[in-house]
Structure 1
Amino acid sequence: MPHVELRKIQDARQVCYAPHSHAHWSLGAVTAGVSTFRYRDASHQIRAGDLVMMNPHWVHACNPIANQPWAYLMLYVDARWMSELRYGLGLLPAPEWQDIATAVIRRPSLFHSFCEMAGGLLDEQVAIERKRQAVTAYLTTLMSELAEEPPLAPAPTPELLAQVADYLRTHCARDISLEELSQQTGYSTGHLIRAFKQHYGLTPHAYLIDQRIQLGQAVLRQGQPIVEAALTAGFNDQPHFQRTFKRLVAATPHQYRAPSFKK
Protein backbone atom coordinates (compact mmCIF):
# COMPACT_ATOMS: atom_id res chain seq x y z
CA MET A 1 0.00 0.00 0.00
CA PRO A 2 2.47 2.68 -1.12
CA HIS A 3 -0.23 5.37 -1.01
CA VAL A 4 -0.68 5.08 2.78
CA GLU A 5 1.50 5.59 5.85
CA LEU A 6 0.39 5.28 9.46
CA ARG A 7 2.19 6.63 12.49
CA LYS A 8 1.38 5.73 16.10
CA ILE A 9 2.75 7.82 18.99
CA GLN A 10 1.95 6.59 22.49
CA ASP A 11 3.72 9.35 24.46
CA ALA A 12 3.99 12.55 22.45
CA ARG A 13 5.32 14.80 25.19
CA GLN A 14 8.79 14.70 23.66
CA VAL A 15 7.58 14.71 20.05
CA CYS A 16 7.74 18.34 18.93
CA TYR A 17 7.47 19.67 15.40
CA ALA A 18 8.65 22.87 13.80
CA PRO A 19 6.07 24.35 11.40
CA HIS A 20 6.07 22.17 8.29
CA SER A 21 3.89 20.75 5.55
CA HIS A 22 3.35 17.49 3.68
CA ALA A 23 2.87 16.66 0.03
CA HIS A 24 0.14 14.21 1.06
CA TRP A 25 -3.20 14.63 2.83
CA SER A 26 -3.15 13.85 6.55
CA LEU A 27 -5.79 12.60 8.98
CA GLY A 28 -5.04 12.19 12.68
CA ALA A 29 -6.82 10.97 15.81
CA VAL A 30 -5.96 12.16 19.32
CA THR A 31 -6.14 8.97 21.36
CA ALA A 32 -5.19 10.46 24.76
CA GLY A 33 -4.57 13.82 26.40
CA VAL A 34 -4.64 17.31 24.89
CA SER A 35 -2.55 19.28 22.43
CA THR A 36 -2.32 22.52 20.47
CA PHE A 37 -2.92 22.20 16.74
CA ARG A 38 -1.65 25.16 14.74
CA TYR A 39 -2.93 25.12 11.19
CA ARG A 40 -2.01 28.01 8.93
CA ASP A 41 -3.12 31.12 10.84
CA ALA A 42 -5.51 29.32 13.24
CA SER A 43 -4.90 27.57 16.56
CA HIS A 44 -7.08 24.72 17.88
CA GLN A 45 -7.08 23.04 21.28
CA ILE A 46 -7.60 19.36 20.56
CA ARG A 47 -8.24 16.47 22.95
CA ALA A 48 -8.82 12.73 23.03
CA GLY A 49 -11.64 11.81 20.67
CA ASP A 50 -10.87 14.54 18.12
CA LEU A 51 -9.91 14.01 14.49
CA VAL A 52 -7.75 16.55 12.65
CA MET A 53 -7.17 16.97 8.92
CA MET A 54 -4.40 18.72 7.00
CA ASN A 55 -4.47 19.61 3.33
CA PRO A 56 -1.36 19.00 1.22
CA HIS A 57 1.21 21.82 1.53
CA TRP A 58 -0.68 23.60 4.34
CA VAL A 59 1.76 24.59 7.09
CA HIS A 60 0.96 23.18 10.51
CA ALA A 61 2.40 22.01 13.82
CA CYS A 62 0.93 19.93 16.63
CA ASN A 63 2.74 19.98 19.96
CA PRO A 64 2.20 19.12 23.65
CA ILE A 65 0.79 21.61 26.16
CA ALA A 66 3.08 22.23 29.17
CA ASN A 67 4.45 18.69 29.02
CA GLN A 68 0.99 17.17 29.45
CA PRO A 69 0.76 13.57 28.16
CA TRP A 70 -1.01 12.96 24.90
CA ALA A 71 -1.02 10.33 22.16
CA TYR A 72 -2.17 10.13 18.58
CA LEU A 73 -2.49 8.17 15.36
CA MET A 74 -1.71 9.88 12.05
CA LEU A 75 -2.62 8.59 8.61
CA TYR A 76 -0.84 10.04 5.57
CA VAL A 77 -2.55 9.45 2.22
CA ASP A 78 -1.19 10.14 -1.25
CA ALA A 79 -3.06 13.20 -2.57
CA ARG A 80 -3.41 11.82 -6.10
CA TRP A 81 -4.89 8.55 -4.83
CA MET A 82 -7.22 10.52 -2.54
CA SER A 83 -8.33 12.76 -5.40
CA GLU A 84 -9.17 9.74 -7.54
CA LEU A 85 -11.20 8.25 -4.68
CA ARG A 86 -13.19 11.48 -4.22
CA TYR A 87 -13.69 11.77 -7.99
CA GLY A 88 -14.90 8.17 -8.17
CA LEU A 89 -17.46 8.96 -5.47
CA GLY A 90 -18.76 11.88 -7.50
CA LEU A 91 -17.46 14.43 -4.99
CA LEU A 92 -15.05 16.19 -7.35
CA PRO A 93 -15.58 17.41 -10.93
CA ALA A 94 -12.14 16.07 -11.91
CA PRO A 95 -9.55 13.76 -10.31
CA GLU A 96 -7.51 16.73 -9.10
CA TRP A 97 -6.86 17.72 -5.50
CA GLN A 98 -9.34 20.11 -3.91
CA ASP A 99 -8.63 21.45 -0.42
CA ILE A 100 -10.96 20.48 2.42
CA ALA A 101 -12.28 23.26 4.66
CA THR A 102 -12.65 21.19 7.84
CA ALA A 103 -9.70 21.14 10.26
CA VAL A 104 -11.13 19.43 13.37
CA ILE A 105 -13.91 16.82 13.58
CA ARG A 106 -15.68 15.86 16.81
CA ARG A 107 -17.85 12.88 15.86
CA PRO A 108 -17.44 9.80 18.10
CA SER A 109 -18.55 7.39 15.36
CA LEU A 110 -15.89 8.62 12.94
CA PHE A 111 -13.23 8.64 15.66
CA HIS A 112 -13.88 5.08 16.81
CA SER A 113 -14.07 3.81 13.23
CA PHE A 114 -10.73 5.47 12.50
CA CYS A 115 -9.09 3.81 15.50
CA GLU A 116 -10.52 0.44 14.47
CA MET A 117 -9.22 0.89 10.92
CA ALA A 118 -5.78 1.95 12.22
CA GLY A 119 -5.65 -1.06 14.52
CA GLY A 120 -6.15 -3.31 11.52
CA LEU A 121 -3.35 -1.58 9.61
CA LEU A 122 -0.97 -2.15 12.51
CA ASP A 123 -1.94 -5.80 12.88
CA GLU A 124 0.59 -7.93 11.01
CA GLN A 125 -1.88 -10.82 10.93
CA VAL A 126 -4.38 -8.90 8.78
CA ALA A 127 -4.05 -9.54 5.04
CA ILE A 128 -3.03 -6.61 2.88
CA GLU A 129 -6.23 -6.78 0.85
CA ARG A 130 -8.33 -6.41 4.00
CA LYS A 131 -6.22 -3.43 5.02
CA ARG A 132 -6.72 -1.85 1.62
CA GLN A 133 -10.47 -2.40 1.81
CA ALA A 134 -10.66 -0.97 5.33
CA VAL A 135 -8.84 2.24 4.36
CA THR A 136 -10.98 2.73 1.27
CA ALA A 137 -14.22 2.06 3.15
CA TYR A 138 -13.37 4.44 5.97
CA LEU A 139 -12.26 7.28 3.71
CA THR A 140 -15.34 6.78 1.55
CA THR A 141 -17.55 7.27 4.61
CA LEU A 142 -15.56 10.26 5.84
CA MET A 143 -15.50 12.05 2.49
CA SER A 144 -19.21 11.41 1.93
CA GLU A 145 -20.05 12.99 5.30
CA LEU A 146 -17.76 15.96 4.71
CA ALA A 147 -19.36 16.55 1.32
CA GLU A 148 -22.40 17.90 3.19
CA GLU A 149 -20.31 20.83 4.44
CA PRO A 150 -19.66 23.97 2.34
CA PRO A 151 -16.63 23.64 0.05
CA LEU A 152 -13.55 25.71 0.73
CA ALA A 153 -13.25 28.78 -1.46
CA PRO A 154 -9.65 28.75 -2.68
CA ALA A 155 -7.64 31.80 -1.65
CA PRO A 156 -6.13 33.52 -4.66
CA THR A 157 -2.37 33.10 -4.91
CA PRO A 158 -0.40 35.99 -6.40
CA GLU A 159 1.14 34.72 -9.62
CA LEU A 160 4.69 35.74 -8.72
CA LEU A 161 4.51 33.99 -5.33
CA ALA A 162 3.12 30.86 -6.99
CA GLN A 163 6.05 30.94 -9.40
CA VAL A 164 8.50 31.23 -6.49
CA ALA A 165 6.89 28.30 -4.66
CA ASP A 166 6.93 26.15 -7.80
CA TYR A 167 10.58 27.06 -8.44
CA LEU A 168 11.53 26.12 -4.87
CA ARG A 169 9.71 22.78 -5.13
CA THR A 170 11.30 21.96 -8.48
CA HIS A 171 14.85 22.97 -7.55
CA CYS A 172 14.89 22.31 -3.81
CA ALA A 173 17.97 20.08 -3.99
CA ARG A 174 20.23 22.98 -4.92
CA ASP A 175 21.12 26.21 -3.13
CA ILE A 176 18.76 29.07 -4.02
CA SER A 177 19.49 32.57 -2.73
CA LEU A 178 16.97 35.28 -1.90
CA GLU A 179 18.74 37.49 -4.41
CA GLU A 180 18.01 34.94 -7.15
CA LEU A 181 14.33 34.85 -6.20
CA SER A 182 14.17 38.63 -5.98
CA GLN A 183 15.54 38.95 -9.50
CA GLN A 184 12.86 36.58 -10.76
CA THR A 185 10.02 38.50 -9.11
CA GLY A 186 11.24 42.06 -9.02
CA TYR A 187 10.47 42.14 -5.29
CA SER A 188 12.99 43.38 -2.76
CA THR A 189 14.25 40.57 -0.52
CA GLY A 190 12.41 42.03 2.48
CA HIS A 191 9.11 42.32 0.62
CA LEU A 192 9.50 38.82 -0.83
CA ILE A 193 10.06 37.28 2.62
CA ARG A 194 7.03 39.08 4.11
CA ALA A 195 4.68 38.37 1.22
CA PHE A 196 5.71 34.73 0.87
CA LYS A 197 5.38 34.00 4.59
CA GLN A 198 2.00 35.72 4.78
CA HIS A 199 0.65 33.48 2.02
CA TYR A 200 2.47 30.17 2.60
CA GLY A 201 3.17 30.32 6.33
CA LEU A 202 6.93 29.91 5.88
CA THR A 203 9.74 32.11 4.64
CA PRO A 204 11.20 31.12 1.25
CA HIS A 205 14.22 29.56 2.99
CA ALA A 206 12.05 27.59 5.43
CA TYR A 207 9.86 26.48 2.52
CA LEU A 208 12.97 25.30 0.65
CA ILE A 209 14.11 23.24 3.65
CA ASP A 210 10.61 21.80 4.06
CA GLN A 211 10.65 20.70 0.41
CA ARG A 212 14.08 19.11 0.87
CA ILE A 213 12.82 17.03 3.77
CA GLN A 214 9.80 15.93 1.72
CA LEU A 215 12.19 14.86 -1.03
CA GLY A 216 14.30 13.04 1.56
CA GLN A 217 11.22 11.17 2.80
CA ALA A 218 10.32 10.18 -0.76
CA VAL A 219 13.73 8.68 -1.58
CA LEU A 220 13.90 6.93 1.80
CA ARG A 221 10.58 5.28 0.98
CA GLN A 222 12.14 4.11 -2.26
CA GLY A 223 14.92 2.39 -0.30
CA GLN A 224 17.74 4.87 -0.81
CA PRO A 225 20.42 4.73 1.96
CA ILE A 226 20.36 7.63 4.41
CA VAL A 227 23.69 9.09 3.31
CA GLU A 228 22.54 9.10 -0.33
CA ALA A 229 19.14 10.49 0.62
CA ALA A 230 20.87 13.41 2.34
CA LEU A 231 22.77 14.29 -0.83
CA THR A 232 19.75 13.76 -3.07
CA ALA A 233 17.74 16.15 -0.90
CA GLY A 234 20.38 18.86 -1.15
CA PHE A 235 22.14 18.54 2.20
CA ASN A 236 25.92 18.78 2.33
CA ASP A 237 26.28 16.08 4.96
CA GLN A 238 24.29 13.38 6.71
CA PRO A 239 24.33 14.93 10.24
CA HIS A 240 22.70 18.15 8.97
CA PHE A 241 20.07 16.11 7.14
CA GLN A 242 19.38 14.03 10.24
CA ARG A 243 19.02 17.06 12.53
CA THR A 244 16.67 18.84 10.16
CA PHE A 245 14.70 15.68 9.45
CA LYS A 246 14.18 15.09 13.18
CA ARG A 247 13.04 18.71 13.69
CA LEU A 248 10.37 18.54 10.98
CA VAL A 249 9.32 14.88 11.06
CA ALA A 250 9.86 14.24 14.79
CA ALA A 251 11.70 11.05 13.89
CA THR A 252 15.18 10.25 12.64
CA PRO A 253 15.66 9.07 9.04
CA HIS A 254 16.54 5.64 10.44
CA GLN A 255 13.29 5.50 12.44
CA TYR A 256 11.30 6.72 9.43
CA ARG A 257 12.57 4.02 7.09
CA ALA A 258 12.15 1.23 9.66
CA PRO A 259 9.39 -1.28 8.72
CA SER A 260 7.56 -0.61 11.98
CA PHE A 261 7.18 3.10 11.16
CA LYS A 262 5.22 2.72 7.92
CA LYS A 263 2.31 0.50 7.10
Structure 2
Amino acid sequence: MAEAVEMTVPVISVSSLEKTFVTEKGDLVKALAPVDLEVKSNEFICIVGPSGCGKSTMLRILAGLETPTGGEARYMSYEISGPGRERGMVFQEYSLLPWRTVAGNLGLGPELAGEKPESYGGLVEEYLELVGLSDFADAYPYELSGGMRQRAAIARALVNNPEVLLMDEPFGALDAHTRILLQGELLRIWETHRKTVLFVTHSVDEAVSLADRIVVMSARPGRIREIITVPIERPRRRSDPRFGELAYEVLSMLDREVGCRS
Protein backbone atom coordinates (compact mmCIF):
# COMPACT_ATOMS: atom_id res chain seq x y z
CA MET A 1 0.00 0.00 0.00
CA ALA A 2 1.47 3.37 -0.99
CA GLU A 3 2.30 5.80 1.79
CA ALA A 4 0.18 8.93 2.00
CA VAL A 5 1.98 12.05 0.82
CA GLU A 6 1.46 15.08 3.03
CA MET A 7 0.20 18.02 0.96
CA THR A 8 0.79 21.54 2.23
CA VAL A 9 -0.79 24.64 0.75
CA PRO A 10 1.73 27.49 0.19
CA VAL A 11 1.08 30.52 2.35
CA ILE A 12 1.57 32.77 -0.68
CA SER A 13 1.38 31.68 -4.30
CA VAL A 14 1.26 33.51 -7.60
CA SER A 15 0.41 31.82 -10.86
CA SER A 16 0.97 33.37 -14.31
CA LEU A 17 0.77 36.77 -12.58
CA GLU A 18 0.86 39.77 -14.94
CA LYS A 19 0.42 43.51 -14.55
CA THR A 20 0.12 46.15 -17.27
CA PHE A 21 -0.29 49.85 -16.52
CA VAL A 22 -1.85 52.50 -18.74
CA THR A 23 0.00 55.84 -18.73
CA GLU A 24 -1.73 59.23 -18.84
CA LYS A 25 -0.93 59.31 -22.58
CA GLY A 26 -2.67 55.97 -23.05
CA ASP A 27 0.50 53.95 -23.56
CA LEU A 28 0.68 50.43 -22.17
CA VAL A 29 3.57 49.59 -19.83
CA LYS A 30 3.97 45.93 -18.95
CA ALA A 31 5.44 45.78 -15.44
CA LEU A 32 5.15 42.03 -14.84
CA ALA A 33 5.34 39.22 -17.35
CA PRO A 34 3.89 35.88 -16.21
CA VAL A 35 5.35 35.15 -12.77
CA ASP A 36 5.00 31.93 -10.78
CA LEU A 37 6.12 31.66 -7.16
CA GLU A 38 5.23 29.65 -4.07
CA VAL A 39 6.23 30.68 -0.54
CA LYS A 40 6.10 28.28 2.38
CA SER A 41 5.10 29.11 5.95
CA ASN A 42 7.83 30.91 7.94
CA GLU A 43 10.07 31.43 4.90
CA PHE A 44 12.08 34.63 4.56
CA ILE A 45 12.11 35.53 0.85
CA CYS A 46 14.06 38.46 -0.56
CA ILE A 47 13.22 39.78 -4.03
CA VAL A 48 15.90 41.61 -6.01
CA GLY A 49 15.97 42.94 -9.55
CA PRO A 50 16.72 45.99 -11.71
CA SER A 51 14.79 49.19 -11.06
CA GLY A 52 11.36 49.11 -12.65
CA CYS A 53 11.19 45.32 -12.92
CA GLY A 54 7.90 45.02 -11.02
CA LYS A 55 9.20 43.95 -7.57
CA SER A 56 7.10 46.49 -5.68
CA THR A 57 4.15 45.94 -8.03
CA MET A 58 4.09 42.24 -7.17
CA LEU A 59 4.24 43.06 -3.47
CA ARG A 60 1.35 45.52 -3.79
CA ILE A 61 -0.71 42.88 -5.57
CA LEU A 62 -0.01 40.46 -2.72
CA ALA A 63 -1.08 43.16 -0.27
CA GLY A 64 -4.32 43.65 -2.19
CA LEU A 65 -3.42 47.24 -3.12
CA GLU A 66 -3.15 46.53 -6.86
CA THR A 67 -5.20 44.27 -9.14
CA PRO A 68 -3.37 41.97 -11.57
CA THR A 69 -4.23 42.13 -15.26
CA GLY A 70 -3.53 38.42 -15.66
CA GLY A 71 -3.07 35.33 -13.55
CA GLU A 72 -3.81 35.23 -9.86
CA ALA A 73 -2.30 35.73 -6.40
CA ARG A 74 -3.39 33.62 -3.43
CA TYR A 75 -3.07 33.67 0.33
CA MET A 76 -3.39 30.03 1.40
CA SER A 77 -6.23 28.75 -0.80
CA TYR A 78 -7.98 32.15 -1.13
CA GLU A 79 -7.57 34.47 -4.08
CA ILE A 80 -6.34 37.89 -2.97
CA SER A 81 -8.91 40.52 -3.86
CA GLY A 82 -8.07 43.26 -1.35
CA PRO A 83 -6.16 44.05 1.84
CA GLY A 84 -6.45 41.70 4.82
CA ARG A 85 -5.10 41.61 8.37
CA GLU A 86 -3.35 38.31 7.65
CA ARG A 87 -1.01 40.28 5.34
CA GLY A 88 0.86 43.21 6.88
CA MET A 89 2.60 45.78 4.67
CA VAL A 90 5.67 47.83 5.62
CA PHE A 91 6.60 50.64 3.22
CA GLN A 92 9.87 52.47 2.67
CA GLU A 93 8.29 55.81 3.59
CA TYR A 94 7.34 54.76 7.17
CA SER A 95 3.70 55.83 6.49
CA LEU A 96 3.06 56.71 10.13
CA LEU A 97 0.22 59.14 10.79
CA PRO A 98 1.92 62.36 11.99
CA TRP A 99 -0.98 63.43 14.22
CA ARG A 100 -0.96 60.20 16.22
CA THR A 101 1.55 59.15 18.85
CA VAL A 102 3.70 56.07 18.33
CA ALA A 103 1.32 54.03 20.50
CA GLY A 104 -1.63 55.52 18.61
CA ASN A 105 -0.10 54.47 15.30
CA LEU A 106 0.43 50.92 16.56
CA GLY A 107 -3.18 50.69 17.66
CA LEU A 108 -4.60 51.93 14.36
CA GLY A 109 -5.26 48.48 12.85
CA PRO A 110 -7.18 47.05 15.81
CA GLU A 111 -9.04 50.36 16.19
CA LEU A 112 -10.17 50.29 12.55
CA ALA A 113 -11.26 46.70 13.07
CA GLY A 114 -13.62 47.88 15.80
CA GLU A 115 -11.65 46.60 18.78
CA LYS A 116 -11.69 48.52 22.07
CA PRO A 117 -8.41 49.97 23.41
CA GLU A 118 -8.54 47.77 26.49
CA SER A 119 -8.47 44.68 24.26
CA TYR A 120 -5.33 45.63 22.33
CA GLY A 121 -3.47 48.00 24.67
CA GLY A 122 -1.37 45.19 26.10
CA LEU A 123 -0.41 44.05 22.62
CA VAL A 124 0.71 47.58 21.70
CA GLU A 125 2.89 47.68 24.81
CA GLU A 126 4.34 44.25 23.99
CA TYR A 127 5.41 45.27 20.49
CA LEU A 128 6.71 48.66 21.62
CA GLU A 129 8.99 46.75 23.99
CA LEU A 130 9.89 44.26 21.26
CA VAL A 131 11.24 47.02 18.99
CA GLY A 132 12.77 49.05 21.82
CA LEU A 133 10.33 51.97 21.72
CA SER A 134 8.58 51.67 25.10
CA ASP A 135 10.03 55.02 26.20
CA PHE A 136 8.64 56.69 23.08
CA ALA A 137 5.03 55.48 23.25
CA ASP A 138 3.72 59.05 23.65
CA ALA A 139 6.12 60.63 21.15
CA TYR A 140 5.06 61.75 17.69
CA PRO A 141 6.73 60.50 14.49
CA TYR A 142 8.54 63.81 13.87
CA GLU A 143 10.30 63.35 17.22
CA LEU A 144 11.86 60.03 16.14
CA SER A 145 14.90 59.22 14.04
CA GLY A 146 14.43 57.43 10.71
CA GLY A 147 15.42 54.10 12.23
CA MET A 148 12.99 54.54 15.12
CA ARG A 149 10.16 55.45 12.75
CA GLN A 150 10.82 52.31 10.74
CA ARG A 151 10.84 50.16 13.89
CA ALA A 152 7.48 51.71 14.76
CA ALA A 153 6.15 50.88 11.28
CA ILE A 154 7.25 47.25 11.65
CA ALA A 155 5.66 47.04 15.09
CA ARG A 156 2.42 48.53 13.74
CA ALA A 157 2.24 45.75 11.15
CA LEU A 158 2.97 43.10 13.79
CA VAL A 159 0.22 44.28 16.16
CA ASN A 160 -2.33 42.91 13.68
CA ASN A 161 -0.64 39.49 14.06
CA PRO A 162 -0.31 38.89 10.31
CA GLU A 163 0.81 35.55 8.97
CA VAL A 164 2.71 37.35 6.20
CA LEU A 165 4.89 40.48 6.35
CA LEU A 166 5.25 42.24 2.99
CA MET A 167 8.19 44.65 3.16
CA ASP A 168 8.93 47.08 0.33
CA GLU A 169 12.48 48.47 0.64
CA PRO A 170 11.85 49.15 4.35
CA PHE A 171 15.46 50.13 5.09
CA GLY A 172 16.23 51.85 1.79
CA ALA A 173 16.20 55.40 3.19
CA LEU A 174 18.45 54.65 6.17
CA ASP A 175 22.16 55.13 6.58
CA ALA A 176 24.34 52.03 6.24
CA HIS A 177 24.96 51.50 9.95
CA THR A 178 21.31 51.89 10.96
CA ARG A 179 20.33 49.62 8.09
CA ILE A 180 22.57 46.80 9.34
CA LEU A 181 21.28 47.25 12.90
CA LEU A 182 17.66 47.01 11.74
CA GLN A 183 18.43 43.94 9.64
CA GLY A 184 19.53 42.28 12.86
CA GLU A 185 16.42 43.51 14.66
CA LEU A 186 14.19 42.17 11.91
CA LEU A 187 15.85 38.75 12.00
CA ARG A 188 15.45 38.65 15.78
CA ILE A 189 11.73 39.43 15.46
CA TRP A 190 11.34 36.89 12.65
CA GLU A 191 13.08 34.16 14.63
CA THR A 192 10.90 34.92 17.67
CA HIS A 193 7.54 35.11 15.90
CA ARG A 194 8.24 33.07 12.74
CA LYS A 195 6.25 35.12 10.27
CA THR A 196 6.40 34.52 6.55
CA VAL A 197 8.33 37.46 5.05
CA LEU A 198 8.55 38.75 1.47
CA PHE A 199 11.13 41.51 1.41
CA VAL A 200 11.88 43.67 -1.64
CA THR A 201 15.35 45.21 -1.72
CA HIS A 202 17.84 46.74 -4.14
CA SER A 203 20.69 45.64 -1.87
CA VAL A 204 22.21 42.27 -2.73
CA ASP A 205 24.16 42.38 0.54
CA GLU A 206 20.87 42.77 2.41
CA ALA A 207 19.29 39.87 0.53
CA VAL A 208 22.20 37.54 1.30
CA SER A 209 22.10 38.62 4.96
CA LEU A 210 18.40 38.00 5.45
CA ALA A 211 16.92 35.48 3.04
CA ASP A 212 16.22 31.78 3.06
CA ARG A 213 15.74 32.13 -0.71
CA ILE A 214 16.56 35.01 -3.05
CA VAL A 215 14.22 35.62 -5.99
CA VAL A 216 16.16 37.30 -8.83
CA MET A 217 13.96 39.13 -11.32
CA SER A 218 14.64 40.20 -14.88
CA ALA A 219 14.48 43.70 -16.31
CA ARG A 220 10.98 44.94 -17.19
CA PRO A 221 8.69 43.24 -17.84
CA GLY A 222 9.65 41.41 -14.68
CA ARG A 223 10.07 37.65 -14.78
CA ILE A 224 11.70 35.38 -12.25
CA ARG A 225 15.13 34.55 -13.66
CA GLU A 226 16.43 32.50 -10.75
CA ILE A 227 15.50 31.40 -7.23
CA ILE A 228 18.58 30.85 -5.09
CA THR A 229 18.55 29.00 -1.78
CA VAL A 230 21.03 30.65 0.59
CA PRO A 231 23.23 27.82 1.92
CA ILE A 232 24.78 29.83 4.78
CA GLU A 233 23.68 29.17 8.34
CA ARG A 234 22.59 32.04 10.59
CA PRO A 235 24.01 34.22 12.04
CA ARG A 236 25.73 35.18 8.77
CA ARG A 237 28.98 37.07 8.64
CA ARG A 238 29.95 39.30 5.75
CA SER A 239 33.54 38.11 6.23
CA ASP A 240 32.47 34.55 5.33
CA PRO A 241 33.85 33.77 1.84
CA ARG A 242 30.55 32.07 0.96
CA PHE A 243 28.75 35.37 1.64
CA GLY A 244 30.92 37.22 -0.86
CA GLU A 245 30.68 34.46 -3.45
CA LEU A 246 26.88 34.40 -3.32
CA ALA A 247 26.63 38.19 -3.44
CA TYR A 248 28.90 38.20 -6.49
CA GLU A 249 26.75 35.53 -8.18
CA VAL A 250 23.56 37.55 -7.66
CA LEU A 251 25.21 40.82 -8.73
CA SER A 252 26.45 39.14 -11.90
CA MET A 253 22.88 38.05 -12.73
CA LEU A 254 21.63 41.61 -12.20
CA ASP A 255 24.46 43.06 -14.30
CA ARG A 256 23.46 40.76 -17.17
CA GLU A 257 19.84 41.91 -16.86
CA VAL A 258 20.81 45.58 -16.94
CA GLY A 259 23.08 44.87 -19.91
CA CYS A 260 20.23 43.20 -21.78
CA ARG A 261 18.04 46.26 -21.24
CA SER A 262 20.60 48.89 -22.28
Question: TM-score scaled to structure 2, two decimals?
Answer: 0.29
Question: TM-score scaled to structure 1, two decimals?
Answer: 0.29
**Hey, which of these two has a bigger chunk of strand by percent?**
2
Which structure has the higher relative contact order (CA within 8 Å, separation 6+)? 2
